[in-house]
């Protein structure tokens, strides 16, 4: 009887503890949904975060975008990166620039040079950047390739960049959006905000869930072959991860003389715009800057090359929509990505 009584007492204590824990869980009705939307970094953004009272973080969010613009925007003439591209060797870059530079160097090596922030010279020449477009031919492409290659740039300990050729042009736009999202997410974490969804130009970081609806954050990936409007290819749940997508279906240029279609993805190896066999790529990673950079690289690589990199980088989950040899649409999806897709 004593043994039974002892276990009954333990069971009663456990029951009370469980009830206490359940009663302490936040009621969905106690959360306030804060939404801030606007334009930044040449695109739009939408940020949703749940708190126990209304909190306006507009000025803090604007501050993040402003700092990144002053450091890395190629569209602002007096930004640090614009000064460096113009030949100013006295610029001492800030910590954000340094972090992006080192991350770019890492992914440049892991993708065998297919992620290359010095490809901006070619991006401009093909008419997809802030610089003037050129009439491109094989001679012009070969000439520009001589100043492409991230190995031609070095960041010294004193914060100054040294270029092997003064004409080398840096462009971090391929991961600046992702990096800005990471910085905003870090700010949210510092404020102990546990549930948020940050989206800038289609790149996303989520934490927690939509506690008001008691549901995970649900995202959609566009069908790259939808001719009008938007049509979703898949939907998925994402929690405490980052996702970036890249595609050739919205950014392209039609030559007014030849009628040829030029997509915005530039192959840093050949210098030419890519034949759009890879239609769209979505990458899930621990940071949005990494996801952004890898998504850009996979657009420039062949499917076989991408699979080799993905196999070596176990932390990545990837979804690729591509055209096979018969020009039929097919999909490649890692097992981890597939587990997040909703039926």
Give per-residue pLDDT as tens, 102-153: 999 999 999 999 999 999 888 888 777 666 667 778 888 888 899 999 999 9
Q: What pLDDT band is residue 36 in, cutting at 50, 70 and 90?
A: very high
DSSP tag of 79: S
Strands (E), 59-178: 153-155, 161-163
CA gap 265, 258 in Å, rounded: 19
CA gap 322, 86 in Å, rounded: 38
Domain 29-83+172-338 top-level CATH class: alpha beta
* Six-digit token string for 99: 């972090």
Asked whether residue 273 carries a pLDDT value surpassing 50, the answer given is yes
Give per-residue pLDDT as tens, 178-216: 999 999 999 999 999 999 999 999 999 999 999 999 999
CA gap 103, 142 in Å, rounded: 28
- Bridge partners (DSSP) of residue 44 are 39
Lowest mean pLDDT among 101-115, 270-284, 315-329: 270-284
């Amino acid at each position: 009887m004593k043994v039974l009584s002892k276990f009954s007492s333990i069971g009663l204590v456990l029951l009370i503890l469980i009830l206490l824990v359940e009663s302490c869980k936040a009621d969905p009705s106690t959360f306030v949904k804060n939404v801030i939307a606007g334009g930044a970094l040449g695109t739009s953004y939408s940020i949703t975060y749940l708190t126990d009272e209304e909190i306006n973080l507009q000025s803090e969010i604007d501050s993040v975008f402003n700092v990144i613009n002053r450091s890395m925007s190629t569209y602002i003439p007096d930004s640090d990166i614009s000064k460096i591209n113009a030949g100013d060797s006295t610029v001492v870059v800030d910590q954000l620039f340094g972090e992006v530079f080192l991350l770019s160097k890492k992914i440049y090596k892991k993708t065998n040079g297919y992620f290359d922030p010095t490809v901006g010279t070619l991006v401009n020449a093909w008419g997809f950047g802030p610089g003037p477009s050129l009439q491109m031919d094989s001679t012009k492409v070969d000439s520009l390739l001589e100043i492409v290659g991230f190995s031609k740039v070095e960041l010294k300990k004193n914060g100054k960049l040294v270029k092997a050729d003064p004409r080398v042009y840096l462009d971090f736009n391929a991961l600046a959006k992702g990096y800005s999202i990471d910085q905003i997410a870090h700010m949210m974490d510092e404020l102990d905000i546990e549930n948020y969804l940050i989206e800038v130009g289609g790149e996303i970081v989520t934490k927690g869930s939509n506690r008001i609806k008691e549901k995970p954050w649900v995202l959609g990936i566009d069908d790259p072959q939808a001719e009008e409007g938007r049509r979703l290819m898949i939907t998925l749940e994402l929690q405490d991860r980052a996702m970036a997508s890249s595609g050739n279906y919205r950014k392209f240029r039609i030559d007014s003389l030849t009628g040829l279609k030029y997509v915005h993805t530039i192959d840093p190896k050949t210098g030419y715009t890519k034949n759009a066999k890879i239609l769209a790529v979505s990458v899930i990673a621990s940071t949005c800057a990494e996801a952004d950079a890898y998504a850009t690289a996979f657009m420039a690589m062949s499917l076989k090359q991408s699979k080799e990199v993905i196999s070596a980088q176990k932390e990545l989950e990837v979804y690729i929509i591509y055209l096979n040899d018969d020009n039929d649409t097919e999909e490649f999806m890692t097992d981890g990505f597939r587990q997040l897709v909703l039926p």
